[in-house]
Structure 1
Amino acid sequence: MSVATEQDSSWKEILDQYFPEFMAFFFPKIYKDLDWSRPPEFLDKELEQLFNEGQAGRRLVDKLVKVYRLGTAEPIWLLIHLEIQGYADPTFAQRMFIYYYRLYDRYFQPKGIDPGSAGRLDKVVSLAVLTDGNKRYHPKQFHIKEWGFELSFKFPSVKLLKYNENWAALEANPNPFAMVTMAVLRMHQNKRKPPEERLNAKLGLTRRLYERHYSRKEIIDLYRFIDNIIRLPEELDQDFRREVIRYEEEEAHMPYVSSIERLGREDGLKEGLEKGTLIGRQDGLKEGLEKGTLIGRQDGLEKGRQEGTLILILRLLKRRFGEQLPEVEQALSLLSLTQLEALGESILDFSNQTDLTLWLQAQGQA
C-alpha cells in the first residue's frame, strides 16, 4: 500500500468514527444546527456511483453524509458533501461546483434517489478542508461573469495551515481533531528536516495522546492516524515503536497501543513479533516470529500472530497479577487469535485474577 493510499485511508477512518467531532472542530456553527441524536449516515456508495473517479482528478478524501436539522417539527435532513483536499489544485473550486450541481440534480429531481428514511431533504451543502502545505492556496469560490450572466458558488473552506497561528489553542483543545490537525502541521513542519526531528515530533504527539486523558479507543484511533501521517525511515520507525512501548510500560502505565495494535506496515508479506508487539518486517515471502532474536519460523502469518499475541497476553498478565499457573497458561494457549485479541482488551478492565478466571470460564477454557 502506498503512502498516499494509507493517508487517504487514515482520513476516511477518522472521519467515519468521529464525524460529529470533526464538524464541531472545523465547522462549529453548522455543528450547532444539527441533531446529533440521529447518527450521521455515510452515502459513499452513492457518491461513487455519481462520479467517475477516472475523470474526477486526484483527491485525498471525499464524503457524502446525511445529517438532520435540529429543532424541526418533522425530520428534515441535509446532505453534506465534504472534500479533504491534499494538494494545490487550480481547478478545485470548479470541481466543487460540478460535484454540487450533480448532487443537487440527482437528489432534487422528482425521480431522484432518496437516501432512504422518513423526512424531507432540505439542502445540499459543500464543505472543504485543505491539508496541503501551500500558504497561498485557499480556494473558497467558483465565479463566472460574462454579458450580464453571473454565477457565484461559495463554499466554507478550512485551511489547516492557519491553525499554526495559534498552536497553544490546539494544545488546549480536547477535540480529537485538534490532534489530527497538529499531526498534519507537524508533518509539514518537519517534511524537509532530518528524520530525527520527525521522530521527535511523532513521539511528542504520541505522548500527548496519553496526557490528554483520551479514552483507550481514541488513543488507538489517533495513534493510527499519526503513524500514517508522519512517516519515518525503517530504522527510526523501529526506534519510535520501542520508545512507545517503553513509555506505555514505564510512564503512562496504559498498554493500549502495544497490547492491541499490530505495529508496523510493510508492502511485503512478512510480519514479526518484537518485544511483545507485532512489528512488520519484510524478508521476501516468509513470515517469522521475532522476539529480540529470531526464535523460530512459522508456517504462516496467522500462526505467527497468534503466538505473538499469546506471549504478549502472558506478559501483560504477569505485570498485572503476577506469574500465571501452568494450567492458566495451558488454557490461554487453547484460545483462538480472535479470543486472544478480545482478552487483550478485557485485561485492561480486570481488577484481579478472579476476573481472568471468570473470563476463561465464559470461553469454555476453565
Structure 2
Amino acid sequence: MPPPSRACYDSPWKTALTHAFRAFLEFYFPAQCARIDWRRRPRFLDKELAQTGCGAHPAGRVADKLARVHLRDGSEQWVMVHIEVQAQRDDALARRVLAYNYRIFEQYGQPVASLVLLADDSPGWKPSAFHNTVLGTVMGISFATAKLLDHSGRTDELLASGNPFAIVTLAHLRTQQTRGSVADRYAAKWQLTKLLYDRGWRKERIIILFKVINWMMTLPEQWESRYWEAINRLERSRKVEWISPLEESFIEKGRLKGLKQGMAQGLEQGLERGREEGAAQLLERQLAQRSAPYRRR
C-alpha cells in the first residue's frame, strides 16, 4: 500500500492561529497568556510582519504570527507577540528568532515577546536562547518555547480537552506518526473528525477545524473520497448538516491550494539552495582560475 500524500502544515496552522489565538496561548503558553488583557482584542499585523523581512519561510517553518496585545498589569500600553511554529529541526532557529525579534522591535519601538512552538519530531531538540559574548559585550535572546512532542503521551487528555488546539495537536502528531500508512492516517483522521461532532462548538469553529484536519492529514484521492462519503453518512445518521456540498467544495479547494503553495514553497527553497550551491561552485572556479598562473610559476 502506498504511503499517504505529503503532509501540509502551513495553511492549517495559520488558519488555526488566526481563528483561536487566545486558545493557542492558553494551550501552549499559559503563563504568558495569563498576563494578557483579553478584554482588549489583539490586532494581527501579518502584513507588517512581512515588511520587516520576516515573511520568508526557511526550511521547516510553517507558520508565524505577529499580534499587538495589552498587558493586564498596565506595565506596557501594548507589546508585540511574535509566534513561530517550526515543523522540523533547524539549528539556525535561535539565531533567526533573535534577528526577527530585533527587526520587529526596530520597526515598532515596543517590547517584543517571541514564542516558539517546536512541532518537529526530534525529542531532544529544544532551543531557547542565542547569545554571543565578546570583549565585555553580550548580544542575544532567551525566548519561550513549547514542544508539541511533549503531548504525544497525553492522548486521553487531549481527546477530553475542550481547547481546539488539543485537536490541532493530535492532528499534527497523528500526521507525523502515520507517514508510512494510508490506512492508519485515514483511521486517525476519521477519529478526530467524529470528535468535532461531540464538542458542542459553534458551526464556524467546526468548519475551521474540519479544514485544519483535512488540509493537514492529507490522503490519496481514493481515500479522500471515502472520507467525505463517511462524513455524509455520519451527518445523515445524526440528522445534521455541518458540511454542506458547497462548504465541502470550498474546503477541498482550500486544501488543494495549500498543497500547491507547499509544493511551490518547496520548489523555491530547492531553487534557492541550487542558486547558493551554484554561486559557491562559480566562486571556486574563479578562484582556481586566478590561482592557476601562480601554481604554474
Q: How does 1:1-366 map to 2 (within 5 A)?
A: 7-51=9-53, 53=55, 57-58=58-59, 59-72=61-74, 76-108=77-109, 121=110, 123-192=111-180, 194-250=181-237, 252-258=238-244, 261-263=247-249, 264-265=252-253
- Per the TM alignment, residue 107 of structure 1 is displaced from its structure 2 partner at its CA by 2.0
Query: Residues 152, 267 of structure 1: CA spacing in aligned structure 2 closer, same or farther, 3 A cutoff?
Result: closer
SS of aligned partner of 1:261? helix
SS of aligned partner of 1:126? strand
Gaps of 5+ in 2: 258-297
- Per the TM alignment, residue 148 of structure 1 is displaced from its structure 2 partner at its CA by 4.3
Q: Contact 1:245/1:258 (CA < 8 Å) preserved in 2?
A: no
- Per the TM alignment, residue 181 of structure 1 is displaced from its structure 2 partner at its CA by 0.5
Max Rg structure: 1
CA distance in 2, matches of 1:168, 1:267: 31
Deviates more, 1:198-207 or 1:144-153: 144-153
Query: Residues 196, 3 of structure 1: CA spacing in aligned structure 2 closer, same or farther, 3 A cutoff?
Result: closer
Query: Residues 75, 103 of structure 1: CA spacing in aligned structure 2 closer, same or farther, 3 A cutoff?
Result: closer
CA distance in 1, matches of 2:107, 2:98: 14
Query: Residues 159, 52 of structure 1: CA spacing in aligned structure 2 closer, same or farther, 3 A cutoff?
Result: closer
CA distance in 2, matches of 1:107, 1:217: 33
SS of aligned partner of 2:122? coil
Query: Residues 260, 70 of structure 1: CA spacing in aligned structure 2 closer, same or farther, 3 A cutoff?
Result: farther
Letter of the 2:208 counterpart: D
Letter of the 2:156 counterpart: A
Query: Residues 177, 51 of structure 1: CA spacing in aligned structure 2 closer, same or farther, 3 A cutoff?
Result: same
RMSD over aligned CA atoms reads 2.3
SS of aligned partner of 1:262? helix
CA distance in 2, matches of 1:100, 1:140: 13
CA distance in 1, matches of 2:17, 2:100: 20
Cα deviation, 1:132-161, whole Å, max 9, x if unaligned, reads 222222211112234544444211111111
Structure that is richer in helix per residue: 2
Query: Residues 214, 93 of structure 1: CA spacing in aligned structure 2 closer, same or farther, 3 A cutoff?
Result: same
Runs of 4+ in structure 1 deviating by more than 6 angstroms, as ranges, are: none
SS of aligned partner of 1:88? coil
SS of aligned partner of 2:191? helix
Deviates more, 1:212-221 or 1:230-239: 212-221
Letter of the 2:106 counterpart: D
Letter of the 2:18 counterpart: D
Letter of the 2:153 counterpart: E
> How many correspondences in the alignment?
249
Identity among equivalent positions (%) equals: 33
SS of aligned partner of 2:186? helix
Q: Contact 2:149/2:173 (CA < 8 Å) preserved in 1?
A: yes
SS of aligned partner of 1:10? helix
Q: TM-score, normalised by structure 2?
A: 0.77
CA distance in 2, matches of 1:214, 1:57: 35
